[in-house]
Structures are given as structure tokens and as C-alpha cells.
């Protein structure tokens, strides 16, 4: 049994991670400031003898004892991270320093949840971990992109300077139950619009692609990386199967049996045209690859949103 700290533990990914760790027998300390995290995501864990909830913002120092740290604290959807861009940057910089300082004091292994956004609007496809990226440092997404890039640099420098055990994961588009219906990402947008009978908003001509990884697969990859004793990373964790936005819209309409039409809007600034991980490194060194097809994952996600929206 280990004492494991999960920052951002009431969020979409963090709450699923808390579940898996507790199922395994670990003691979990969930830290969240509830900016985007939701109490309903962890309500079923309140009162569990292996679960502790701490309301705290990692921009301020945190003092506790733990064996491992999963750092998932940061708004992840464009709507959320652009709402308060300075706060987003501080979470990935000041907050990262605070969490690394805690790991150093406790001699805890730390896994940092980075993102495919470090690749920006990529000129290399699919993206491999040795690609340095194509990021606009002054654009509307830079608070998140550049914040996450600095966070990776901080992790590696703590690793080199203090021999801290660091693990870096670059998360590609992930979906599933507990994703906030209003978080502004494409799968949540499409499903909620379809269930409400509203037009599905397609930005640009819909030819841009994304790869979608079901949450259970993502959490399995994250835990495999944390529990390996050899590799620091970074590791791409995502699904290498690409879908255009038009293809995704068709799949959502089929699963929801909605009659919604498509509505084209202007493409947002710096929106990547392609986003797809090369996961050979994770396959080879971690023995991980996704197992849940998009159609299967959409079925459980749609069921969750039907319950949430009451439709």
C-alpha cells in the first residue's frame, strides 16, 4: 500500500485515476481547488477509508506526506484555460515548482500530466516524442501550451539537479464519462448538441483530424508509466487512430440517433490541423496501447451525458 497524492483529483481524469488507485489498494490524497474539478466526480469516494480530500490550490505551497504524486492540476479545455490565462500559466509554473518541491522533500516519484499541446500546430505527423513542436508563444492557446512546456522543463531540471524520480506523459485527446458537458471540447460539444437537438458546430470545413483515447485506456497507460522503474519519458499516451471532425460528427449522430444538422463556423486561431500520436515508444517500453474503439467509448459517454442532461 502506498500513499499517493493526485493533484486535480476531482477532475475528469483525476477522479478516474483515484478510483483505479483505490481499487488497487492504495491510500489516495485528492487535492483540488475545484476551478474545473467537480465534487460529483468524487462524491462516491467521500467517506472511503482510503480516500482523503483536500481543497487546495497548488499555486500555494502544500505540506503533506506521500510516496507518489500524480500532477494533473491544470484546466485542460480551451474554454477553461483561456478563461483566466494568467492563472493557467501560474498553475503550470509556480504550481509545478511547489509540487516538485514537495516531491523532493518526500523523495516521492512524480508523474506530470503534460499534453499533446506541447507540439502546437505540428509540422510532423504523427507526432513522436523527439519532435520539439510548432507553438505560437503569443497566441490565445499559449497560456496552456507554453505553460506545459515550461512544466516539462522544470521536471527534467529537478530530475537532473536533485535526482528526483520524474515521469512525463503527453496526453492526447481523451474522452469518457465525467467529462464536463460544458467544457468546450469537441466530443462533449457534439454529444450535448446532438442530445439537445441543436446543430453540431463544425469549425472550418471539418477536415482537421484528432485521435480520441477512451479514459480507461489513458489511465492504464498513466499507471504503467508511473510504476515502471526505468523510463522517465516523455511518453505519448493516446489513440493513434485519426478521425476528421466530420467523421466524428457522423459517429455521434449515429450513436445518439439525433436529427441534428451540421453548422460550420470559423476556425479558431492556432487550432491544429492534425493531431495524432506515434505511440511506438509506449508500446515498446511500457507494453501499453489503447484497446477501446471509438464507437464503444462513445456508447458509454453518450449514456453518461443522457443521465447528466436528463434527456
Question: 49, 74, 54, 50: which is closest to 64 by C-alpha?
Answer: 54
209-211 and 242-244 beta bridge pairing? antiparallel
Q: Which of 144, 175, 214, 305 is catalytic?
A: 144
Which grid coordinates belong to 176?
469518457
Name the H helices within 183-257: 186-196, 215-227, 245-256
Distance CA 5, CA 162 (A): 20
The single residue listed with the C-alpha cell 483525476 is: 14
The single residue listed with the C-alpha cell 516521492 is: 108
Which grid coordinates belong to 297?
467509448
Question: 246, 253, 240: which is closest to 208 by C-alpha?
Answer: 246
Total residue length of the chain: 311
Distances (CA, A) of 39 to 15, 34, 227, 261, 301: 10, 8, 28, 34, 19
User: Is the Cβ–Cβ distance between 8 and 28 less than 8 Å?
Assistant: no
Which grid coordinates belong to 105?
522533500
User: Is the Cβ–Cβ distance between 284 and 231 less than 8 Å?
Assistant: no
Element (H, E) at 28: strand 27-32
144 labelled catalytic = yes
User: Is the Cβ–Cβ distance between 77 and 11 less than 8 Å?
Assistant: no
Cite the active site residues.
Answer: 144
Amino acid at each position: 500500500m502506498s500513499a499517493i497524492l493526485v493533484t486535480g483529483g476531482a477532475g475528469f481524469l483525476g477522479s478516474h485515476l483515484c478510483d483505479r488507485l483505490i481499487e488497487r489498494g492504495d491510500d489516495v490524497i485528492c487535492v483540488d481547488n475545484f476551478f474545473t474539478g467537480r465534487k460529483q466526480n468524487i462524491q462516491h469516494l467521500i467517506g472511503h477509508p482510503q480516500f482523503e480530500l483536500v481543497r487546495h490550490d497548488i499555486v500555494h505551497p502544500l505540506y503533506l506526506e506521500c510516496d507518489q504524486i500524480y500532477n494533473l492540476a491544470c484546466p485542460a479545455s480551451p474554454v477553461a484555460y483561456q478563461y483566466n490565462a494568467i492563472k493557467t500559466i501560474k498553475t503550470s509554473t509556480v504550481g509545478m515548482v511547489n509540487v516538485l518541491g514537495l516531491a523532493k522533500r518526500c523523495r516521492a516519484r512524480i508523474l506530470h500530466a503534460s499534453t499533446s499541446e506541447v507540439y502546437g500546430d505540428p509540422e510532423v505527423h504523427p507526432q513522436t516524442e523527439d519532435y520539439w513542436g510548432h507553438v505560437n508563444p503569443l497566441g490565445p492557446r499559449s497560456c496552456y501550451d507554453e505553460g506545459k512546456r515550461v512544466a516539462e522543463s522544470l521536471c527534467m531540471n529537478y530530475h537532473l539537479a536533485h535526482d528526483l524520480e520524474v515521469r512525463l506523459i503527453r496526453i492526447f485527446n481523451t474522452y469518457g464519462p465525467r467529462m464536463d458537458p460544458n467544457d468546450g471540447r469537441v466530443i462533449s460539444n457534439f454529444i450535448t448538441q446532438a442530445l439537445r437537438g441543436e446543430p453540431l458546430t463544425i469549425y472550418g470545413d471539418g477536415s482537421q483530424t484528432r485521435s480520441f483515447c477512451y479514459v480507461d485506456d489513458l489511465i492504464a497507460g498513466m499507471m504503467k508509466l508511473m510504476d515502471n522503474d526505468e523510463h522517465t519519458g516523455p511518453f505519448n499516451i493516446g489513440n493513434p487512430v485519426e478521425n476528421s471532425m466530420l467523421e466524428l460528427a457522423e459517429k455521434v449522430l449515429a450513436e445518439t440517433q439525433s436529427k441534428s444538422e451540421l453548422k460550420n463556423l470559423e476556425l479558431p486561431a492556432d487550432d491544429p490541423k492534425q493531431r495524432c500520436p506515434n505511440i511506438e515508444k509506449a508500446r515498446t517500453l511500457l507494453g501499453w496501447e489503447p484497446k477501446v474503439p471509438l464507437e464503444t467509448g462513445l456508447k458509454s459517454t453518450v449514456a453518461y451525458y443522457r443521465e447528466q442532461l436528463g434527456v
